[in-house]
C-alpha cells in the first residue's frame, strides 16, 4: 500500500508539473519568436504562407477562405440576412424537387408533433417548476395563430379582434379570459374553443372534447361565412382535425388517428407544408405497419434532399430493422458487410449527416426534454422533437440501436469539413446553435455540431516536431548565440538538482556514499 500511494503521488506530481512545463515552453517559444522576428523575416514568411494557404483552400473547396469566413461568420453577426422563403430542403406537394434559392438556412418551422400546453407542458411545469417553452417559441406560435386563425380581411368581426389580442397575451390566464370573452360575443367562435383546448384543458380527453366543439362551430361558421373568409376557415378546420387525430393517437385509438390523418391529407393535398405525413409516420410505426411506413416514405423521400430528420431516420430505421437482429460488429469485421447491411449503414450515415444531434438522444447519451413548439431543420431542436416521439420505435426494433451505436460516428470520416463541404447534402449551417438557444429552454445544454477532436499524442508530436525544427533552424542561423543560450538553459535547469545533491551529501554520512559506490 505504501508503494502504491507513493506511485499515485508521483503520477499526480508529474501531471501537475507537466502543465506548467508546457506553459513555460510555450512562453519561451513565443518570446524567442518575438526577439528574432527581424533576423528571421517572419512578416515576409507569414505573408507568403497566407498566400499559399489561400491558393490551397481555393483549389480544394472552390472558394476563397476569406470570402467563406465573411459570408458564413461575419455577415450573421452584422445582421446580414437575405429575404426569401426557405425551400431548399423541401419538395413540392407532388414530391418533385423545387429549386433552392440562396436564403438564410436558419428558418424555424412549426413542430408537427407539438404537445398541448395545458395538458402536457403545464403539467411538466407543475411537477418540476421549470418552464419548458421559451418566450421566443411561444411568440412564434402566437404569430402562427394570428395568421392562420383570425385573418386580415376587411370584414373582421369583434370576436376576431379579441382573439387577435388573446394570442398576443403573455399570461395564460389572460388568454383564457379573452377566449371566454370571444365566446360570449359569438358562441360559434371556433378559434376561442381552440385556445381553450390548448391552454385550459388539463387532460387530453378534455382537450379532445373542446376540439370537437370547435370543429362543430367551425363547420357551422363556414356554411354561413362569406367566401372571402374561406381561407381562414380552412386553415382553422385543418388545424382542428389534425389536433383531434393527435388526441386519438395519445388516447390509444391509433387506427382511428391514422384514418383521420389519411383523410386529412386526401382532403387538403396542397397543404403539404404542414407536414401531416410526419404525424402519420409516427402513428404507423406505433402500429408496426412497416409496409405502410415504406409507402409513405416512397412518396416523401424520393428526392435527394429530404424534408426532415423524421424522413431520414425513419428510412434508416426500416433498413436497420431488416439486418440489425443478426448484426454483429465482430462478424462484420471478419467477413465484411453484406449488401443489406451496407444499405443500412449508408442510410444511417445519410441521416446523421442531415442531423448529427439525433444519435446521442436515441442512444440515451444525452437527456431528453419536452420538444419545443417550433424546430430548426438540422438543429438540436429538431433532434429533441424527433427522439422524444421515435425513441420507443427504435427500441422496439431489436438490434437497431446497436447498429446505430456501431456506425453513426463513421459519418464524420466522410465529411471531415462539414461546415465547408457536405457529402449528400449542402454544408451544415453554422447558425443553428444561435437559433436553437432561442427555441430551447435555458436548463437544456444545447448540442452543437460534434467537431472532431485530435488525440493528445498527435498534438504533442506536432508540437515536439515544430520545436525541434525551430531549434535546428536557429542553431543553423545563429550557432554562437544558441550555444550560449543552451549552456544558460541547462545550467539553470540543473541548478536545483545540484542544490538537492549538496543537501543530500550534508545529511548523509560519508560511509554511506562509499558503500553505495561499492555496490
Block mean pLDDT (10 aa), the chain, length 519: 56 64 72 63 58 60 54 45 36 37 63 91 90 90 80 65 84 90 88 91 93 87 58 80 94 93 86 82 93 89 71 92 80 78 89 90 92 92 94 91 86 68 72 88 86 60 77 80 80 76 68 62
Backbone angles phi, psi at 72, to 5 degrees: -80, -30
Q: Is residue 478 part of a domain?
A: yes
- How is 107-152 classified by DSSP, letter by letter? -EEE-TT---IIIIIHHHHHHH----S-HHHHHHHHHHHIIIII--
Same domain? 311 vs 449: yes
Element (H, E) at 257: helix 254-267
Same domain? 347 vs 314: yes
Closest CA to 395 of 380, 405, 385, 382: 405
- Which of 430, 453, 476 finishes a domain? 453
| Digit-coded pLDDT (tens) for 349-403 | 888 888 899 999 999 989 999 999 999 998 999 999 999 999 999 999 888 898 8
Same domain? 328 vs 448: yes
Instruction: Using DSSP, state whether 34 is helix, strand or coil.
Output: helix
Q: Is residue 496 part of a domain?
A: no
Same domain? 423 vs 472: no
Instruction: Tell me if 363 sits within 8 A of 286, measured CB to CB.
Output: no
- Which of 453, 477, 498 finishes a domain? 453
Same domain? 330 vs 468: no
pLDDT at 37: 57
- Any idea what the Cα angle at residue 389 is, between residues 387 and 394, rounded to 5°? 65
Q: Name beta bridge partners: 374.
A: 110
Q: Which residue has the cell 455540431?
A: 449
pTM of the model: 0.67
Same domain? 433 vs 468: no
Q: Is residue 59 part of a domain?
A: no
Q: Is residue 375 part of a domain?
A: yes
Q: How many domains does the chain have?
A: 2
pLDDT at 425: 73
pLDDT at 75: 44
Q: What DSSP designation does 424 have?
A: S
Q: Is residue 216 part of a domain?
A: no
Backbone angles phi, psi at 97, to 5 degrees: -70, 135
Q: Name beta bridge partners: 384.
A: none
Instruction: Tell me if 344 sits within 8 A of 318, measured CB to CB.
Output: no
Structural domain boundaries, residue 475: 462-486
pLDDT at 293: 92
Closest CA to 282 of 119, 206, 394, 440: 394
Same domain? 391 vs 473: no
- Which of 429, 453, 477 finishes a domain? 453
Q: Name beta bridge partners: 91.
A: 97
Same domain? 359 vs 473: no
- Any idea what the Cα angle at residue 393 is, between residues 387 and 394, rounded to 5°? 75
Give, in order, the Cα–Cα distances in Å from 288 to each of 248, 362, 407: 17, 19, 24
pLDDT at 186: 86
Give, in order, the Cα–Cα distances in Å from 190 to each of 196, 257, 262: 10, 21, 23
Euclidean distance between CA atoms 426 and 451, whole angstroms: 17
| Digit-coded pLDDT (tens) for 462-501 | 777 777 878 778 787 778 887 888 788 777 877 777 777 7
Closest CA to 395 of 517, 270, 241, 288: 288
Same domain? 347 vs 434: yes
Instruction: Tell me if 195 sits within 8 A of 218, measured CB to CB.
Output: no
Same domain? 373 vs 475: no
State the distance between the two ends of the chain, measured CA to CA, in whole angstroms. Answer: 28
Instruction: Using DSSP, state whether 374 is helix, strand or coil.
Output: strand
Q: Name beta bridge partners: 97.
A: 91
The x, y and z cell numbers of residue 485, run together, are: 543560450
Same domain? 365 vs 466: no
Same domain? 330 vs 436: yes
- How is 168-218 classified by DSSP, letter by letter? H-SSHHHHHHHHHHHHHH-TT-HHHHHHHHHHT--SHHHHHHHHHHHHHHH
Q: Which residue has the cell 411538466?
A: 124
Euclidean distance between CA atoms 7 and 107, whole angstroms: 57
- Any idea what the Cα angle at residue 440 is, between residues 144 and 131, rounded to 5°? 90
Euclidean distance between CA atoms 457 and 453, whole angstroms: 12
The x, y and z cell numbers of residue 53, run together, are: 494557404
User: How would you classify residue 114: left for phi > 0, otherwise alpha for psi between -120 and 50, otherwise beta?
Assistant: beta
Closest CA to 131 of 326, 370, 479: 370
Amino acid at each position: 500500500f505504501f508503494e502504491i500511494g507513493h506511485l499515485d503521488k508521483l503520477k499526480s506530481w508529474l501531471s501537475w508539473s507537466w502543465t506548467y512545463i508546457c506553459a513555460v515552453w510555450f512562453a519561451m517559444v513565443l518570446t524567442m519568436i518575438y526577439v528574432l522576428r527581424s533576423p528571421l523575416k517572419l512578416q515576409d514568411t507569414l505573408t507568403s504562407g497566407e498566400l499559399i494557404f489561400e491558393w490551397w483552400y481555393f483549389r480544394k473547396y472552390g472558394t476563397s477562405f476569406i470570402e467563406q469566413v465573411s459570408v458564413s461568420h461575419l455577415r450573421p453577426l452584422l445582421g446580414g440576412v437575405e429575404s426569401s422563403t426557405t425551400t431548399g430542403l423541401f419538395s413540392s406537394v407532388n414530391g418533385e424537387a423545387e429549386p433552392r434559392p440562396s436564403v438564410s438556412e436558419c428558418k424555424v418551422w412549426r413542430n408537427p408533433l407539438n404537445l398541448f400546453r395545458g395538458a402536457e407542458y403545464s403539467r411538466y411545469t407543475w411537477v418540476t417548476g421549470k418552464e419548458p417553452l421559451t418566450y421566443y417559441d411561444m411568440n412564434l406560435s402566437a404569430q402562427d395563430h394570428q395568421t392562420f386563425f383570425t385573418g386580415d380581411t376587411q370584414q373582421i368581426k369583434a370576436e376576431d379582434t379579441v382573439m387577435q389580442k388573446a394570442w398576443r397575451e403573455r399570461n395564460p390566464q389572460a388568454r383564457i379570459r379573452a377566449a371566454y370573452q370571444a365566446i360570449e360575443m359569438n358562441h360559434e367562435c371556433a378559434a376561442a374553443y381552440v385556445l381553450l383546448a390548448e391552454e385550459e384543458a388539463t387532460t387530453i380527453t378534455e382537450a379532445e372534447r373542446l376540439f370537437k366543439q370547435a370543429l362543430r362551430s367551425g363547420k357551422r361558421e363556414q356554411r354561413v361565412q362569406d367566401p372571402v373568409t374561406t381561407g381562414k376557415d380552412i386553415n382553422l378546420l385543418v388545424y382542428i382535425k389534425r389536433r383531434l387525430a393527435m388526441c386519438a393517437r395519445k388516447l390509444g385509438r391509433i387506427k382511428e388517428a391514422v384514418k383521420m390523418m389519411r383523410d386529412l391529407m386526401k382532403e387538403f393535398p396542397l397543404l403539404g407544408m404542414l407536414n401531416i405525413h410526419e404525424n402519420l409516420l409516427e402513428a404507423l410505426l406505433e402500429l408496426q405497419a412497416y409496409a405502410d411506413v415504406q409507402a409513405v416514405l416512397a412518396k416523401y423521400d424520393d428526392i435527394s434532399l429530404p424534408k426532415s430528420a423524421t424522413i431520414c431516420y425513419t428510412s434508416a430505421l426500416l433498413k436497420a430493422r431488416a439486418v440489425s437482429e443478426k448484426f454483429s460488429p465482430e462478424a462484420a469485421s471478419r467477413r465484411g458487410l453484406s449488401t443489406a447491411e451496407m444499405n443500412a449503414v449508408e442510410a444511417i450515415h445519410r441521416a446523421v449527416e442531415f442531423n448529427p444531434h439525433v444519435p446521442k438522444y436515441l442512444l440515451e447519451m444525452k437527456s431528453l426534454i419536452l420538444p419545443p413548439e417550433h424546430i430548426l431543420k438540422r438543429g438540436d431542436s429538431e433532434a429533441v422533437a424527433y427522439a422524444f416521439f421515435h425513441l420507443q420505435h427504435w427500441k422496439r426494433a431489436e438490434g437497431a440501436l446497436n447498429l446505430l451505436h456501431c456506425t453513426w460516428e463513421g459519418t464524420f470520416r466522410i465529411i471531415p469539413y462539414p461546415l465547408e463541404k457536405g457529402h449528400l447534402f449542402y454544408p451544415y449551417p453554422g447558425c443553428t446553435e444561435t437559433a436553437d438557444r432561442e427555441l430551447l429552454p435555458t436548463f437544456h445544454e444545447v448540442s452543437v455540431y460534434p467537431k472532431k477532436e485530435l488525440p493528445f499524442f498527435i498534438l504533442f508530436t506536432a508540437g515536439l516536431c515544430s520545436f525541434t525544427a525551430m531549434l535546428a533552424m536557429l542553431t543553423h542561423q545563429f550557432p554562437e548565440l544558441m550555444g550560449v543560450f543552451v549552456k544558460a538553459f541547462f545550467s539553470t535547469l540543473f541548478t536545483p538538482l545540484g542544490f538537492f545533491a549538496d543537501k543530500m551529501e550534508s545529511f548523509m554520512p560519508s560511509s554511506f556514499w562509499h558503500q553505495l559506490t561499492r555496490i
